[in-house]
Amino acid sequence: MHLPLLAVIARQGSMAAAARKLRMHESKLSRHIKTLERETGLVLVVRRPAIGADPLTEDGKQLLTFAHAYAIARQQARAKANELTTRRTDGIART
């Protein structure tokens, strides 16, 4: 899912800055965003915003809340998986 990329673009202020932060080519980031836009049927990012302007469209801003929630849920799932792995390696796995 490419939704978390919206949060990075919003924080960094542009696709170019977000790509640098993510250590990926801007064209790859753009492809991911285009896929997300195709999946949602919405234009989420302003491709060439004015200097200092918000890089997200109004629709993108609306989905940003879900991007944050998705990131939190993903972190929680990783923490739980680590906890379960630790239990198994300690020999106290429960079913």
Residue 85 lies in a domain: yes
Structural domains counted in the chain: 1
At residue 45, φ and ψ (nearest 5 deg) are -130, 135
Q: Is residue 25 part of a domain?
A: yes
pLDDT at 76: 94
pLDDT at 67 exceeding the cut of 90: no
Q: Note whether residue 65 is domain-resident.
A: yes
What one-letter code names the amino acid at 27?
S
Sequence letter at residue 74? R
Provide, rounded to the nearest whole percent, the portion of the chain with pLDDT above 70.
Answer: 93
- 2 — pLDDT class (breaks 50, 70, 90): confident
Is pLDDT above 90 for 53? no
- Does residue 36 lie within any of the structural domains? yes
Count other C-beta atoms under 10 Å from residue 91's C-beta: 6
Is residue 94, in this structure, part of any structural domain at all? no
User: Does 95 map to a domain?
Assistant: no
pLDDT tier for residue 48 given thresholds of 50, 70 and 90: confident
42 lies in which domain range?
4-89
In a domain, 42, yes or no: yes
